Structure 1
Amino acid sequence: MIERPAEIFGGIDTSVPNAARVYDYLLGGAHNFPVDRQFARRTMRMMPNAADVPRVNRSFLRRAVLFMIDNGVRQFLDIGSGIPSVGNVHEIAQEVDPACRVVYVDKEPIAVEYSRILLRGNNRAAAIYGDLRDPDDLLTRPEITHLLDFSEPVGLLTLLVWHFVSDTDDPEGLLARYHSALAPGSYLALSHMTRDGVSRWMNQTMDDALGRIADDTFTRERGRVTEMFAGFELVPPGVVECAAWRPEGPGDFSDAPDFNAVTCAGVGRVL
């Protein structure tokens, strides 16, 4: 576990739990601080299946990447990639085809630094610091344009990141900008925290947990998430519970229905 002082990480505030580091802990990662672990353990006491949320999302990531590869994609832009854990995009993609190219983007310094460590010696993958809300910056960054050719299909991955984007920042407008940069045959994979089909107890518990982290969150109804795919052709089965997007077996689901319903996901194609 990370025990070094915050100044090593550029003055990161380690007094408040951070969503990316809590997610890392729930996946069994080591890149988190005591405050993140304390928050995660408290959450798991209230919601014993809490770790199923990142696990189910991670499983969707794998299925989405493999689907895109099966449909001709060999380059990926993973925005909001988080702290590296088991089953990263480059590991999934390059196992199928070592020629696959991947760029990770995150605004969490620890996520970027540990991704760079993981990618040492891999000249077909890179990690950069950037913000989903600034597509005009990201899409022209030399680290991205060096590895990715936007005249060819790209797999754009934005998993569990849009609920950190407020309506004021216009998520639909941002997605339209990304869409305009993608060549025909490209794909968008998106997962999003929602409240549809979630029990009243779960909603109350989520409110309590989310109110304790440093990151503002904006859950959206599944219908609204579907609207975010405007301009993309939704791949069947559309926007569904995260675990229900082309599952491969019971292990893709949580045993607790609330924890399947708390995230929805979909994949869209650029025509």
Structure 2
Amino acid sequence: MAAVHPALAPWVRSIVAYDVAFAGPGVHIGMPSTDLTFVLPLDEPLAVSWDGDPGSRTVGWSSVSGLHTTAAAIHHGGHQRGLQLSLTTAGARALWGVPAGAMAGQLLGLADVDPRLADLPERLAHEDSWEARLAVLEHALLDAVRRRPPPQPRPEVGRAMALLTRGVPVAAAADDVGYSRRRLTTLVHDEVGVSPKTYQRLARFSGAHARMRAAALAGELSVARVAADSGYADQAHLAREWTDFAGCSPTEWVRREFPIVQATGGQEATA
């Protein structure tokens, strides 16, 4: 995990330099969330598609995806190395000059969102250390932000999205910001590309995914505990949502992503 420059903090949630070796070629699951994903592979082009839709497959030296409700299938040859960024929805306006809603459900490259950054993968490839690559990336992002006017999403939409993330019902969030539920639905969809209810589901799922991942990395995983801590009614509820968003059950996801970890704490519930 690399530090994010303070000037980029409202737009870039995290920057991860990754170097991962697998047992062999396979497919990594790119999970849906309330963030946009920006990946810059180093050793080989990134081959990614929406799970279950091979016709959506793209191959390139950069990948930018908006919010999505289907897992991404990231194909690899046994080794992956590069930089991965999580962007806030406001980051789409700051970096690319468009609301995140304009990118929802799409797999794009840098040339699609900002031709001026199309040579960034080549610039990164010329550097021989993570420190140098991160410096090149930071400079490029700061330049992209500075040459665009400050993003201007409606503040009440931002407040409503924050309330939704905390689990406030859609109708209550609409009342809080002074909109009808229908009006709020239109504004949120225009801003991020999904309805308020779907955004809320993604936010809860993102929390569950983070907890599941942390527990798996710690070597102790209880799906039932993750469900309870994430605000799901029960383990069966989490299992249904996980299958909808990830394309597999929670324990199957753990088996695929962390093959040496065993889930504990009750029988797995299925949809």
Q: Considering the TM-score relative to the shorter chain, is it more than 0.5?
A: no
Greater Rg, structure 1 or structure 2?
2
Q: TM-score, with normalisation over the residues of structure 1?
A: 0.29
Q: Which is richer in strand?
A: 2
Alignment TM-score, normalising by the size of structure 2? 0.29
